[in-house]
Chains A and B, each alone.
Chain A
Amino acid sequence: MATTTLNPAAPAYRSGLYSWLTTTDHKKIGIMYLVNSIVFFVAGGSLAMVVRLELAQPGMQFVSEAFYNQAFTMHASFMLFLFVIPILAGFGNYVVPLMIGAPDMAFPRINALSFWLLPLGGLLMASGFLVSGGAAASGWTEYPPLSGAQFSGTGTDLWIMGLTLIGTSSILGAINFLVTIFKMRAPGVTLFRMPIMVWTVLVTSVLVLMATPVLTSALIMLFIDRNYGGHFFDPANGGNPVLYQNVFWFYSHPAVYIMILPAMGIISEILPVFSRKPLFGYKAFIFATVCIGALGFSVWAHHMFTTGAVFLPFFSLMTFLIAVPTGVKMFNWIATMWRGKLSFDTPLLYAVGFLTMFLIGGINGAFSAAVPVDFAIHDTYWVVAHIHYVLFGGSVFAIFGGIYYWFPKMTGRMLNETLGKVQFVIMFVGFNLTFFPMHQLGLAGMPRRIADYSASAGWSELNLVATIGGFVIAASLLPFFWNVLISLRNGKIAGDDPWGGNTLEWATTSPPPAYNFDHLPEIRSERPVFDARYGRTAGH
């Protein structure tokens, strides 16, 4: 296979830290995305622990109702906007240019700007905890009138400003990905030879480009109502609170695909490598991805069935339709593993965890798509179970799979396999212990976003189980951080291609040099490194 020689090193006239702070290299920026996201993952996770502690038993034991509201609001805001979305963008940043054989992103300096807006927006949002009245507390959806000036304080303004910056970061990142993918592919990398990960980032970027600005407009209208005497969402003066919900979900439903499509891309990279088979139905997978992206724009109002202000049959039907391309993908993944030579390394464990948990998340989502059922379970813990099965069991499992898969490429060292498997098992058990009981809690009528419940409601045992599960998840992060720490220092040297990979990032050194490649293998399929390894290009 192709060997790679390092570029002559640039003169070392800057310290290590300075070179990170000022870098425009997509790989360093990608790693900073990951680190920043993990920091907010820990912050959001700590807030989740506050929520679970308080709900463990009936009665208020640990925090005030007011802080409880801030805790679940900021938990979701951190996890969605500062962990899942940016960490997937971080993987995209790291691997997309490598996978298409490009030296960097199309606009490296805009790429750095996209990153630096994130910690800025995140800190702005988090600084709500320091002002009087506390952080935003109307739930991550921030529906008016609860998020209006009458009921919420400066924390909500900081939340709006922070999220606007994060949205701008996403939009600039999406433009960068699209131009990179369309203009920077190496010779031979046609659209239908791009790895699935690149395709999912492509479709995700279109969603970000077209949906995120609409969120920005919703946030700006909210800000104007709160601070400049506007009446957009104020029914007393002709405004319309449901208008906010429409505009908000026009972004926030596509956003769930923004949070799952790149995760599906990661799974689609891991499964073929660890099954020793090509991805089953490569083109069908791409069309399914495009389909999900397109349908994603026609289902936003399924979050608003109970408002009575939306056309129920249409949005219900479109929501069910999304199960079709998602089902196609499910079969693609299973057929990829079918009769494959499976090697159960940690990335594959996470991928299989993703398949099973995301399947449950898909099925319990279909219940919510049925209008009559949704009227019963709307705003109950059923919905909390659903979102966590798709977002934690789906996206977060894929994210950890991706970390184990690409850590050797990013650092040149392998993560410890035993610790990885230990983490997977603890997390898998903790995850199901936490979120499976929430189905029953939802069916038993427990509403979401409550700080307390009656001891006679019959919800106490299941809540206690969920809280124990939550702490098991938290415990599963200890072996992970220990693993990263010891592997960075003493991990096994990875070499260029530790897994027997398919895609171009494995054709360069680990970690890759600045500008990535000195020369590329011949590219005749979506698996150029596999082709080169087995001499599949020799005939030409």
Chain B
Amino acid sequence: MTADADATAPIPAHALTIHTEAIDGHGSGGVGTPVLGMLLFIVSEVMFFAGLFAAYFTLRAGYTEVVNGTIQHVWPPTQYADLLNPFTLRTESGALNVILPATIILVISSFTCQMGVWAIRRDDHKGFVRSIAVTVVLGATFLLLQAFDYSVLMSEGLTMGSTTFGTTYFTLTGFHGAHVFGGVLMLSVVLYRGMAGQFTSKHYDMVEATSLYWHFVDIVWIFLFSILYLAPLLGRGA
């Protein structure tokens, strides 16, 4: 091991205080420190959403209502089933149903974010700033569309107190929305620092870490969209 040869030589104090890599025998290769920190943070976020999803599936399994005079298990509750069909572009009362466009926008933003990472890897500053700016705009658009969608759902009578369905729906999507908001803030800082020219192909750990977070937020939405919007369609049959 080359590390052993280094161990006997005194390491000058300035090396310790300025470059931790100087004594960092194992950290010089592999994933960077900030990126590893972000990956571990994402693990904790996965477990947080796992707790909420566990509650969702438990409550879903226990939900019953009276259908044709008998107590039956149905999901989602009959009165909200049509409301959450993502493929009808208008609700019964005529309001716009924007959840499908919002989903498409969030998925696209993951690609633009990754294009930003690729751009900074080849020192393409212009492309990097452009991609991140587009990502910020897409993320903010998703949030606006979600806020609009919430107002539609509430005007149609779906609220936090509308059975366990409303409770789980708003908790899951609300916490996802909060995470999108956090991601937009982080991306804005990346954008600001990127415009100030602070990132290069050798120094872009923050970009990498932020993009990982953004992909995570996107994947959570894909799960949410599949479970809250698509799965009920399968259950109902043709």
Within the complex, what minimum Cβ distance (angstroms) separates A160 from chain B?
14
Q: Mark A492-525, 1 if CB is under 8 A from B, else 0.
A: 0000000000000000000000111111101100
Answer yes or no: A187 CB below 8 A from chain B CBs: yes
Of all chain B residues, which has the CB nearest A239?
B164
Q: How large is the interface on A (under 10, 10 to 19, 20 to 34, 35 or more residues)?
A: 35 or more
Is B163 in contact with A213, judged by CB distance below 8 angstroms?
no
Query: A146 contacts the other chain (Cβ, under 8 Å)?
Result: no
A240:B20 contact, CB within 8 angstroms: no
Q: A209-B43, A218-B51, A240-B58 are in contact. Are A183 and B26 (CB under 8 A)?
A: yes
A230 (CB) vs chain B CBs: closest residue: B167
Residues on B with C-beta less than 8 A from A237 are 161, 163-164
A528 to B, closest residue via Cβ: B7
| B51 with A186: CB separation less than 8 A | no
B52 close to chain A: CB less than 8 A: yes
Check A231 against B16 for contact (C-beta < 8 Å). no
Cβ of B45 within 8 Å of any chain A Cβ, yes or no, is yes
Q: Please determine whether A243 and B26 come into contact, CB atoms closer than 8 angstroms.
A: no
Taking the complex as formed, is B48 at the interface, i.e. its CB lies under 8 A from any CB of chain A?
A: yes
Partner of B13, one of A230, A518, A540: A518
With CB as the reference atom, state the residue of chain B lying closest to A540.
B4
Q: List B residues 158-192 near A (Cβ within 8 Å).
A: 159-161, 163-164, 167-168, 171, 175
Of the residues B37, B50, B52, B175, contact of A179 by C-beta under 8 Å? B37
A519 to B22, CA, bound (A): 12
User: Is A232 among interface residues, defined by CB-CB distance under 8 A?
Assistant: yes
In the assembled complex, A101 has its CB within 8 A of some CB on chain B: yes
**How many B residues have CB within 8 A of the partner chain?**
47
Cβ A216 vs Cβ B51 within 8 A: yes
**Chain A residues within an 8 Å CB radius of B47:** 209-214
Interchain CB contact under 8 A, B48 and A210: no
A166-186 CB mask vs B (1 if < 8 Å, else 0) is: 000001001110110011111
B-facing residues in A201-250 (Cβ within 8 Å):
209-218, 220-221, 224-225, 228-232, 237-240, 243, 246-247, 250
Chain B CB within 8 A of A102 CB: yes
Contact across chains for A217 and B13 when beta carbons are under 8 A apart: no
Can you list, as one digit per residue, whether each of B46-70 has a CB less than 8 Å from chain A (1) or not (0)?
A: 0111111011001100111000000
For residue B27, CB closer than 8 A to chain A, the reply is yes
Whether the Cβ atoms of A232 and B161 lie closer than 8 Å is no
- Other-chain residue from B45, B49, B55, B164 in contact with A247 (beta carbon distance below 8 A): B55
What is the distance, in angstroms, from B129's C-beta to the closest C-beta of chain A?
27
User: Hey, which chain B residues are within 8 Å of A101, CB to CB?
Assistant: 23
Q: Does B41 contact A (CB under 8 A)?
A: yes
Contact among A175, A187, A215, A217 for B25, CB-based, below 8 A: A187
A340 is an interface residue with CB less than 8 A from chain B: no
Cβ A229 vs Cβ B161 within 8 A: yes
Q: From the candidates A107, A519, A522, name the one contacting B37 in the complex (CB within 8 A).
A: A107
- Using A106-B33, A217-B48 as known contacts, say yes or no to A183 and B59 having CB atoms under 8 A apart: no
B29-47 near A? 1/0 per residue, CB < 8 Å? 0000100110011011101
B8 within 8 A of A: yes
A103 CB–B CB distance under 8 Å: yes
Partner of B48, one of A8, A110, A179, A216: A216
Distance (whole angstroms) from the CB of B68 to the closest CB of chain A: 19
Contact of B44 with A210 in the complex, beta carbons under 8 Å: yes
Contact of B59 among A8, A212, A232, A520 (CB under 8 A): A232
Assuming the A-B contacts A184-B27, A188-B4, A213-B44, are A247 and B13 also in contact, with contact meaning beta carbons closer than 8 angstroms in the complex? Answer: no
Q: Is the C-beta of A7 less than 8 angstroms from some C-beta in chain B?
A: yes
For residue A214, which residues in chain B have a CB less than 8 angstroms away from its CB?
A: 47-48, 50-51
Q: Is B79 part of the contact surface with A, judged by Cβ < 8 Å? A: no
CA distance A171 to B50 in the complex (A): 16
Q: Kindly state the separation between the CA atoms of A520 and B3 in the bound complex, as whole angstroms.
A: 13
Given contacts A216-B51, A220-B171, contact A187 B58 (CB under 8 A): no
A188, B3: Cβ atoms closer than 8 Å: yes
| Cβ-neighbour of A515 out of B16, B24, B50 (below 8 A) | B16
Residues from chain A with a CB closer than 8 A to the CB of B49 are: 217
Min C-beta distance of B59 to chain A, whole Å: 6
| Residues of B contacting A110 in the complex (Cβ-Cβ under 8 angstroms) | 37
Q: Taking the complex as formed, is B11 at the interface, i.e. its CB lies under 8 A from any CB of chain A?
A: yes
Q: Does B124 contact A (CB under 8 A)?
A: no
Complex CA–CA separation, A381 to B175 (angstroms): 40
Residues of B within 8 A of A102 (CB): 20, 23
A188 and B41 contacting across the interface, CB-CB below 8 Å: no
Q: Chain A contacts of B64 at CB under 8 A? A: 238
User: Is B237 at the interface (CB under 8 A from chain A)?
Assistant: no
Question: Cβ of B7: which chain A residues have Cβ within 8 Å of it?
Answer: 186-188, 520, 522-523
- CA separation between A435 and B98, bound complex, in Å? 62
Give the docked Cα–Cα distance between A209 and B37 (Å): 12
Contacts of B82 in A (CB 8 A): none
In the complex, chain B residues whose CB is within 8 Å of the CB of A228 = 160
Q: Is the CB of A250 within 8 A of B59?
A: no
In the complex, are the beta carbons of B43 and A7 less than 8 A apart? no
Given contacts A187-B4, A213-B45, 4 further A-B contacts (CB under 8 A): A183-B36, A217-B55, A243-B59, A516-B16
B binding-site residues for A, Cβ under 8 Å: 3-4, 6-11, 13, 16-17, 20, 23-27, 33, 36-37, 40-41, 43-45, 47-52, 54-55, 58-59, 62-64, 159-161, 163-164, 167-168, 171, 175
Binding site for B on A (CB under 8 A): 7-8, 101-104, 106-107, 110, 171, 174-176, 178-179, 182-189, 209-218, 220-221, 224-225, 228-232, 237-240, 243, 246-247, 250, 514-520, 522-523, 540
Q: Which 8 A-B pairs have the closest CB atoms?
A: A217-B51, A187-B25, A187-B3, A519-B10, A213-B48, A183-B27, A229-B161, A230-B167
